[in-house]
Structure formats: C-alpha cells, structure tokens
Amino acid sequence: MKANPKLSIILRNDKVRKDDTCPIYYSVRYRNKSKKFSTEYSAKKTEWNDKKGLPKDIRVANILERKKNEFEKWVIEMNISNKPFSFELIQDFFSGNSLEDFLEYYDNEIKRNIKSLKPNTIKGYRSNLNVLREFMDRITFGDIDIKFIEEFEHYLRNEREITAGGRYGHHKNLKATLCRALREKRIKENPYVEHKFEIPKPLAREIFLDERDIAVIKKLKIPTKNHGLIRTKEIFLFCCYTGLRYGDVISLEWKHLHRIGNHEFIVKEQNKTARKVSIPLPKEALEILNDRKGINPTRVFDDVSNQKLNFNLKKICAVAKIKKYTTFHIARHSFASVAVAKNKNLYVLSKIMGHSSIKQTEKYAKLNQSSLIDFLD
C-alpha cells in the first residue's frame, strides 16, 4: 500500500516566546520522517485546545483547518496523478508555491460573498473567472506570478481584443481576489503589488450631449404606441437633468424626494458608492416627475434593463439625427458638462455627483474661479 504524508497541527511548547506565546506549526510525517512548517500564527498555552489540536481562536482555527483540508485534497490529487511525494514538493505546498486550485478558490469566494456584494460586482467577478478559465484550464496559486499577469494581459489585449476599459476591470477583480488570498496567507505576495504591475486604465470618454442635443431629444415626438422609446426618452432626460447613474434612477423611489426650503431635492444613497447625495431638481426634472405621479406608488420609473435602454436610445438618437456615440451613461456626463458650460461651481457639482474627490469632477473642465452659483437658477 502506498504511503501518504500525514499532517497534524501542533503548538510548539518548546519554543515559548517572551510574550508567553508559542508558534503553531504544521507537522508532516512521511516514510518515518517528519518535518515542521511554520503557520506564522502563535498562541499561548491557555489559548490552545488540546482536545481538538487547534487554537481556541475560531478565525485562526478555521484558517489552519482549511489549509489542512487543502493538503489532504492535494495528497489525493497527487495519488490520482500517480505522482511521487517528496519533502521538496511538500515544502512547495507550504512555501506559497501552493498547488491549490486557484480557480476553485475564486469560484468559492464569489459564492461566499454573493449576498454581501452588489449584483454588478458579482457579475464582474464571474466574468473575470470565466475569462481566466478560457486563458488556462487549471491555475494553481503557484502559477500566479508577474509573468502570469503579463501573459494574461497579452491574452486580454491581443487574443480577446478587449479594450483598455475591459482589461482594467479584469485586472482590478483579479488583483482584489489575490489581495484576499494574501490576507488569508494562501500566498506570500501579490504580484500586482510586489512588482508594481501597471493596470491599463481606460481612456476617459469625452462624449456628451450639449444643451442643443438634449433640447432636440426633448422636443422629439414619439408615437404613443412606441411605449419603450417613450419610457427610454423620459428616463434618459431625467438623468441628463439630475446626473443620476442607471442604477440610481431605476431604484429611485418617491420616498427619496424631499422638499428643502423652497426647492425639491433627491436625497439618496448612490448604489455604486453608498455615498449620500442631495440633488436639486430643476423644473425640467420636476415636469417629468409630475407626469409619473400615480403610476407606481413606490418606484418613480419602470424597471428597464440597461441594455434595453441603450438599444432604445440609439434609435432615439438616430431619429433625432444625433450622430454622437451614445450610451445611457452619457446622460451623467452630459449633466456635468452642461453644468460646467454654465459656469456652475465645480465643488458643488462634485458634491451633487457624489464624487469622492473634486479631481473626478475636474475632467469636465478646467477649474474656474467663479463664485458659488445656485444650481437651480
């Protein structure tokens, strides 16, 4: 019968430190020989559960047990592959050159966080995982180094022909997953950080509609039978007047509308950033709201997919003879650009749009020195 390595978790009582803690080790026995590998964790003797052979700290105990389970799974995989064991290979397992399946880990992380993350974030992680599976059938933690990242970038750019914006999202999600793995001590370094890999940043799109374009869309007469186009026009114009993102306008409820002084405001947490914004409503936006009253007691607008809105918007712009490349998100850019063209104060604009820094707002114009102007005038 083939001999297999056996792993146990031990507290080194023979190595008591000045703070009374003892290091915790993995002890592996194979062919009458044993070798110990540091877990980088420690515990006091009073913090050790002798019966379970684990620290009483549940978080640390779970991490150590998970590693032990990975080791046992690795032993099974080695047996299935009919590969011989050696302490050199075992050393690789514990050194960070882990043979643990990274794709399986990534998939489990998505499932574990599915309730705590926003649907679009989960969708991004899923997309990243699928592309990684296409890139390589099997990826272990030991495979992921700076060369792997560079080859993945080459694959995204040249074989998949993904734009800089799309590649940025893939690298961002992979880097975040590796950061979690590093915190769990599954890897010893994150190649994105250690080697300062420069993630390709998307070029800022400067496409927006000016006031004339928006006025043309507003005046556009759409037959009443084209309910989808009417609905798209209504939602799109409302975002041009308020700067709301797709997710925020679709989730907008009547309870988010507040009268402050003599003016109506939207007061709402942004879906993307969770930042609370107060958006003053100009008369054009109020006209749309008045038309929507009584249709739905909770939601202001109908629940329409972003894809459907983009599809309908292209039809609207074609009829309106607007030749700019349009997507629904340019409504937000258009709001900001029109505000800047009217010399609105960038600091106030930044607050209305929920930007974390005024630098995000400055892309719409060079910082001007005009005085604070009321956005409702």
- State how far the alpha carbon of 342 is from the alpha carbons of 12, 213, 251, in Å: 71, 16, 29
For 38, the enclosing helix (H) or strand (E) is: strand 33-44
Condensed to tens digits (0 to 9), the pLDDT of residues 257-279 reads: 999 888 999 999 988 888 899 99
pLDDT in tens, 313-366: 999 999 999 988 788 888 998 898 888 888 888 888 888 888 888 777 776 654
Residues 152-203 have pLDDT tens digits of: 999 998 888 887 878 889 999 999 999 999 888 788 789 998 888 888 776 5
Helices (H), 161-245: 164-183, 191-194, 211-219, 227-242
In angstroms, the CA 139 to CA 133 distance is 8
The encoded tokens of residue 268 equal 């709402």
pLDDT at 80 over 90: no
Q: Which domains does the chain have, with CATH numbers?
A: 6-90 (no CATH), 102-194 (1.10.150), 211-364 (1.10.443.10)
> What is residue 277's three-state secondary structure?
strand
Work out the widest C-alpha separation in the chain, in whole angstroms. Answer: 86
**Could you give the residue ranges of the DSSP H alpha helices within the chain?**
58-80, 87-95, 102-112, 119-135, 146-154, 164-183, 191-194, 211-219, 227-242, 246-250, 283-292, 306-319, 330-341, 346-353, 358-361
The pTM of the full predicted model, rounded to 2 decimals, is 0.52
Under DSSP, is residue 80 helix (H, G, I), strand (E, B) or coil? helix
CA distance 42 to 58: 13
Phi, psi of 258 (to 5 degrees): -135, 145
